[in-house]
Amino acid sequence: MNTAILNTDLEDDELQDEQPKEKFIFFDFIIEKGQEPLRIDKYLMTKIANVTRNKVQQAIDDECVFVNDKLVKQNYKIKPNDHVVAYTFREPESTEIIPENIPLDIVYEDEDVLVLNKPFNMVVHLGHGNYSGTVVNALAYYLQ
């Protein structure tokens, strides 16, 4: 999953010199059914790889985390069906799909359908931190 969170990608001086900065969506998801109540900062730590609790808490303090369209504090407890949106000040990288010659294990193919065995460690589509080596990149090359 993602390895950096929110405005911590920028130097503190940059944040102070250029106010206000545009925010971009970093995460946007719905809390799964059956999720036990858990503080939002602890929950985000489980969803974002290599992020510290301090960085998550700083993002919350910087008003970059919303639940159900409302700003939350660090002690907010998430619950099933909560809509969580986290923002970043870092502009997203290009989402242009670049065809890549990646071997695919195609099980079936006809004029309308293509079925493949996806390797367990292969990301399906482009996203923050995953801009190449995805199934979409491989399919773009295969279907050219």
**Residue 95: per-residue pLDDT:** 66
Quote the mean pLDDT of the chain. Answer: 81
Out of 3.10.290.10, 1.10.3720.10, 3.40.190.10, 1.10.287.70, which CATH number does the structure's domain 6-88 have? 3.10.290.10
- Beta-carbon count within 10 A of 116 CB: 15
User: In one letter, which amino acid is 77?
Assistant: K
Give the residue among 11, 44, 27, 24 at the shortest CA–CA distance from 90.
24
Say how far residue 138 (Cα) sits from the centre of its chain: 21
pLDDT digit string, tens, across residues 21-56: 677 777 788 898 999 999 999 998 888 767 788 888
d(CA 44, CA 70): 16
**pTM of the full structure:** 0.51
Q: How confident is the model at residue 5 (pLDDT cuts 50, 70, 90)?
A: very low
Indicate the domain borders of the chain. 6-88, 105-142
DSSP string, 78-124: E-TT-EEEEEESSPPPP----------EEEEE-SS-EEEE--TT--S
Q: Please answer whether residues 134 and 122 qualify as being in contact, where contact means their C-beta atoms are separated by less than 8 angstroms.
A: yes
Mean pLDDT across 80-94 = 79
Q: Is pLDDT larger for residue 2 or for residue 33?
A: 33
Three-state DSSP class for 33? coil
pLDDT digit string, tens, across residues 121-140: 888 887 666 678 889 999 99
